[in-house]
Amino acid sequence: MTLRRPVLSVETLIALVTGYLLVMANGPFWRAAMVGRDMGGLGDWGFAAALAVLVGGLHFVALGLLSTRWTVRPLLALVVVVASVAAYYMDRYAIYLDRAMLRNVLATHYDEAVELFSLRMVGFVLVFGVLPAVALWWPQLRARPWPRALAIRAAWLLAALALAVAAILPVFADFASLMRNHKEVRHLVTPGNAVVALVGNLWGRSAAHPATRQAVAPDAAPGPAWAQRSRPTLFVLVVGETARARNFGLNGYERMTTPELAARDVVNFPRVTACGTSTEVSLPCMFSPFGRRDYDEDRIRSHESLLHVLARAGFQVQWRDNQSGCKGVCDGLEQVQLSKAGVEGLCPEGQCLDEVLLHGMDRVLADARGNLFVVMHQLGSHGPAYYRRYPDAFRRFTPACEKNDLRLCTPAEIRNAYDNSILYTDHVLAKLIDYLKARQDRYDTAMLYVSDHGESLGENGLYLHGVPYRLAPDVQREVPMVAWLSPAFRQAFGVDGACLQREAQRPVSHDHLFHSMLGLLDVATQAYDRSHDMFAACRTPVTAVPAAAANRARSASSAP
Report the relative pairing of strands 372-377 and 316-321 from DSSP bridges. parallel
Q: Which residue, 354 or 452, has its beta carbon nearer to Zn ion?
A: 452
Q: Which residue, 174 or 354, has its beta carbon nearer to Zn ion?
A: 354
Q: Nearest distance from residue 379's CB to Zn ion, in Å?
A: 10
Among 98, 115, 452, 511, which residue sits at the site for Zn ion (rule: CB under 5 A)?
Answer: 452
Q: Which residue has the closest beta carbon to Zn ion?
A: 279
Q: Which residue, 84 or 322, has its beta carbon nearer to Zn ion?
A: 322
455 binds Zn ion (CB under 5 A): no
Question: Of the listed pieces 15-23, 189-197, 239-247, 525-533, which binds Zn ion according to CB under 5 A?
Answer: 239-247
Q: Nearest distance from residue 413's CB to Zn ion, in Å?
A: 22
One DSSP character per residue, 446-469 reads EEEEEES---EESGGG-EES---G
Question: Of the listed pieces 75-83, 84-92, 234-242, 290-298, which binds Zn ion according to CB under 5 A?
Answer: 234-242
**3-class DSSP state of 540:** coil
Q: Nearest distance from residue 382's CB to Zn ion, in Å?
A: 7
Q: Nearest distance from residue 338's CB to Zn ion, in Å?
A: 17
Name beta bridge partners: 524: 221
Q: Which residue, 191 or 240, has its beta carbon nearer to Zn ion?
A: 240
Q: Nearest distance from residue 278's CB to Zn ion, in Å?
A: 6
How many other C-beta atoms lie within 10 A of the C-beta of residue 243?
A: 28
Question: Of the listed pieces 236-244, 255-263, 294-302, 481-489, which binds Zn ion according to CB under 5 A?
Answer: 236-244
CA-based torsion, 64, 65, 66, 71: positive or negative: positive
How many residues of this chain interact with Zn ion, rule: CB under 5 A? 3
Question: Of the listed pieces 198-206, 437-445, 448-456, 525-533, which binds Zn ion according to CB under 5 A?
Answer: 448-456
Q: Which residue, 112 or 241, has its beta carbon nearer to Zn ion?
A: 241
Output the CA–CA distances (angstroms, integers) from residue 249 to 222, 316, 417, 459, 480, in the order listed.
Answer: 37, 33, 15, 19, 10
Q: Which residue, 112 or 260, has its beta carbon nearer to Zn ion?
A: 112
Distance CA 409, CA 386 (A): 12
The closest alpha carbon to 510, from 285, 301, 300, 321, belongs to 285
Q: Mark 240-269 with x for binding to Zn ion (rule: CB under 5 A) and - for no binding.
A: -x----------------------------
Q: Mark 264-283 with x for binding to Zn ion (rule: CB under 5 A) and - for no binding.
A: ---------------x----
Residue 333 phi/psi, 5-degree rounding, is -105, 170
CB 124 within 8 A of CB 84: yes
Q: Nearest distance from residue 324's CB to Zn ion, in Å?
A: 9
Q: Nearest distance from residue 242's CB to Zn ion, in Å?
A: 5
Q: Which residue, 273 or 279, has its beta carbon nearer to Zn ion?
A: 279
Radius of gyration of the chain, Cα coordinates, nearest whole angstrom = 28
Distance CA 194, CA 189 (A): 9
Give residues 370-399 in contact with Zn ion (rule: CB under 5 A). Answer: none
Angle subtended at Cα 268 by Cα 264 and Cα 271, rounded to the nearest 5 degrees: 165
Q: Which amino acid is at 44?
A: D
Q: Nearest distance from residue 384's CB to Zn ion, in Å?
A: 13
Q: Which residue, 141 or 285, has its beta carbon nearer to Zn ion?
A: 285
Question: Of the listed pieces 50-58, 90-98, 451-459, 502-510, which binds Zn ion according to CB under 5 A?
Answer: 451-459
Q: Nearest distance from residue 323's CB to Zn ion, in Å?
A: 8
How many other C-beta atoms lie within 10 A of the C-beta of residue 187?
A: 25
Q: Nearest distance from residue 453's CB to Zn ion, in Å?
A: 5
CA-based torsion, 466, 469, 472, 475: positive or negative: positive
CB 264 within 8 A of CB 433: yes
Q: Which residue, 191 or 468, has its beta carbon nearer to Zn ion?
A: 468
The closest alpha carbon to 473, from 496, 457, 497, 449, belongs to 457
Give residues 276-315 in contact with Zn ion (rule: CB under 5 A). Answer: 279
Q: Chain centroid to CA 364: how far? A: 29
Q: Which residue, 452 or 522, has its beta carbon nearer to Zn ion?
A: 452
Q: Which residue, 241 or 354, has its beta carbon nearer to Zn ion?
A: 241
Question: Of the listed pieces 4-12, 108-116, 233-241, 516-524, which binds Zn ion according to CB under 5 A?
Answer: 233-241
Q: Which residue, 193 or 279, has its beta carbon nearer to Zn ion?
A: 279
CB 471 within 8 A of CB 184: yes
How many other C-beta atoms lie within 10 A of the C-beta of residue 543?
A: 8
How many other C-beta atoms lie within 10 A of the C-beta of residue 76?
A: 24
| CB contact set of 1 (below 8 Å; sequence gap of 6+) | none
The length of the chain in residues reads: 560
Q: Nearest distance from residue 467's CB to Zn ion, in Å?
A: 13
Angle subtended at Cα 228 by Cα 224 and Cα 232, rounded to the nearest 5 degrees: 100
Q: What is the 3-state secondary structure (H, E, C) of 241-296?
A: CCCCHHHCHHHCCCCCCCHHHHCCCCEEEEEEECCCCCHHHHHHHHCCCCCCCCCC
Q: Which residue, 279 or 509, has its beta carbon nearer to Zn ion?
A: 279
Q: Nearest distance from residue 151's CB to Zn ion, in Å?
A: 52
Q: Nearest distance from residue 532's CB to Zn ion, in Å?
A: 22
Interaction site with Zn ion (CB under 5 A) = 241, 279, 452
